[in-house]
Structure 1
Amino acid sequence: MVAIRKRKTKTKMVAQHKWAKFRVLKEMNELEPFLPATQKFRKRVLWDFIDKYGKVMLKPYLGHSGRGVIQVSRLEENRFAIHIENKKIIVDGKRSVSDQLEKLTNARRYIVQRRISLAEINKRPFDIRVMVKRKKQSPWKVTGMFAKVAERDYVVSNVSGTLLPVEAAIEQSLMKPVPTQKLLKRIKKVCLTASKQLGNVYAAQNIIGFDIGLDHDANVWIIEANFKPSLRPLILLKGT
């Protein structure tokens, strides 16, 4: 009798870059109000976004610590600012913008995202890192939160001049007054919902660090989901 070998089926790996994670989150209707408009970077998409929002962020598919992130802003009808790290370039005309971006992106794949006007502390934008974990298939839990205040002249908070407890950051900011505990509850609910959605697709993932933005009206935005978040800022903050 001839033994029949079962053919092994390969498990399809789901990409973990920014665009893939955004698409997973976007599939859940409950999360849609918390996601900034995002698309693959193409020239047509870039100009559509600038026409609609005025400011956009370009982010590499793969990257961390704010490396390679570029802000493009319309200053006047045909004048634009390109901001990367703490350097700003003013150029005239769409062709000049395209030429500069071609050099800066260096043929890497990027996404383009609506720039959320983040709440500020002393005229410096801040966002909130929310750490969410689970053990195997146990429910997700928020295990830590802290605020990252951007260094002066930087457009991203990854280059952080200041780490603050979230409560202190909310109370020091100039955004629309909202009870702090109510806002924290909303942030945690959004992150737990997003963790469940991502966890359904990335089954092996047991830790996620969300970058959460608050705009001037205290609306909550999921800026990014990090699968290898650093724990060092939490340790530093606890030690102060």
Structure 2
Amino acid sequence: MTHTIIRSKMKKGIPLMSDPIISHHVPETNWFHASTLRRMLRAYSTLYIKPDIGRQGNGIIRIKKLADAKCEIAYGGTTSWCSSKYVYDEVVKRMNPRKKYLIQQGIELATYRKRPFDVRLVLQKPLNRWQLTWISAKVAPKATSIVTNIAKGAKDTKIIRTLKGIDQSLKPYKVLEELINVSYQVAQKLGSQFPLTIVGLDMGIDKKGKVWFIEANTRPDFKGLRKFDPVQYQRYLRAKKMLRKR
């Protein structure tokens, strides 16, 4: 099978949002328009606006709804405030006019030492079935961080150590089991729609322990991971070698 790189977040998200089971783990996601912004701002306290095609957390804008019809807009290390009446105009100022954007329900991620984190999982398909070859947490550098991308200062951490040390009262092994289960479902769904042999998933856990799909990468980055966890890295390499033999 020839592996295909799929760059559009929406293209990868549509099959997941259409699935009756997986859709419960996918934040509401729409194309960015003034109308979707108004509707979703009424429904959710936090929203993310993301370029449909983009990497490493670049160009992401976070909107938080505050009291007194005000909004907080965080973008590129800066934070500003405005009336909700003008939030659309303020957001558009920060967008690249040559790009298409999504608007997504914000998830209140669980925290480790007061910093939000998500989970990186990589699944490969060496013998016609998906195999989990990597899992680690990515902890944001600050409590106020917009994203948990390594390129934006987040740190890879061991998954069990992180789950055992989170600030919320959650059962680490139960959460881990759910994370892996949902990730396999996501990989299988995406693999049924596109020719894929590897997929990297960013998965979130909210403060109540629910598992959420954040993003799928069809060309996951392994930079720096060899030293971080040589055992898992060798597992990834073995699967990669088997795929080359096919």
CA drift at 1:233: 4.4
Structure 1 counterpart of 2:175: 183
- TM-score of the aligned structures, taking structure 2 as reference length: 0.85
d(CA) in 2 for partners of 1:74, 1:219: 22
Report which stretch shifted further, 165-174 or 84-93: 84-93
Aligned residues: 224
CA drift at 1:200: 1.1
Structure 1 counterpart of 2:200: 209
Q: Could you tell me whether the CA contact under 8 Å between 1:40 and 1:111 is conserved in 2? A: yes
From 122, 141, 145, the counterpart of 2:131: 141
1:98 is aligned to 2:91: no
d(CA) in 1 for partners of 2:82, 2:76: 17
d(CA) in 1 for partners of 2:209, 2:12: 24
From 218, 228, 245, the counterpart of 1:227: 218
- TM-score of the aligned structures, taking structure 1 as reference length: 0.87
1:172 is aligned to 2:162: no
d(CA) in 2 for partners of 1:236, 1:85: 29
- Consecutive unaligned residues in structure 2, runs of 5 or more: 231-246
CA drift at 1:234: 2.7
Structure 1 counterpart of 2:242: none
Report which stretch shifted further, 102-111 or 211-220: 102-111
- Secondary structure (helix, strand or coil) at the match of 2:94 reads helix
Structure 1 counterpart of 2:192: 200
d(CA) in 2 for partners of 1:201, 1:236: 34
d(CA) in 1 for partners of 2:175, 2:65: 32
User: Which of structures 1 and 2 has the bigger CA Rg?
Assistant: 1
d(CA) in 1 for partners of 2:60, 2:71: 17
d(CA) in 2 for partners of 1:234, 1:175: 27
1:161 is aligned to 2:154: yes
CA drift at 1:165: 0.6
- Secondary structure (helix, strand or coil) at the match of 1:23 reads helix
Q: Could you tell me whether the CA contact under 8 Å between 1:118 and 1:127 is conserved in 2? A: yes
CA drift at 1:215: 0.6
% identical aligned pairs: 26
1:132 is aligned to 2:106: no
CA drift at 1:16: 4.0
1:39 is aligned to 2:2: no
CA drift at 1:211: 0.5
- Secondary structure (helix, strand or coil) at the match of 1:29 reads coil
Q: Equivalences for 1:2-151 in 2 at 5 Å?
A: 16-95=7-86, 97-107=87-97, 108-135=99-126, 138-151=128-141
Q: Could you tell me whether the CA contact under 8 Å between 1:146 and 1:234 is conserved in 2? A: no
Q: Could you tell me whether the CA contact under 8 Å between 2:141 and 2:155 is conserved in 1? A: yes
Report which stretch shifted further, 83-92 or 48-57: 83-92
Q: Could you tell me whether the CA contact under 8 Å between 1:56 and 1:113 is conserved in 2? A: yes
- Secondary structure (helix, strand or coil) at the match of 1:157 reads coil
User: Match of 1:102, as an amino acid?
Assistant: V
Q: Could you tell me whether the CA contact under 8 Å between 2:71 and 2:84 is conserved in 1? A: yes
Q: Which runs of 4+ in 1 moved over 6 A?
A: none
Cα gap change, 1:93/1:234 in structure 2, threshold over 3 Å: closer, same or farther? same
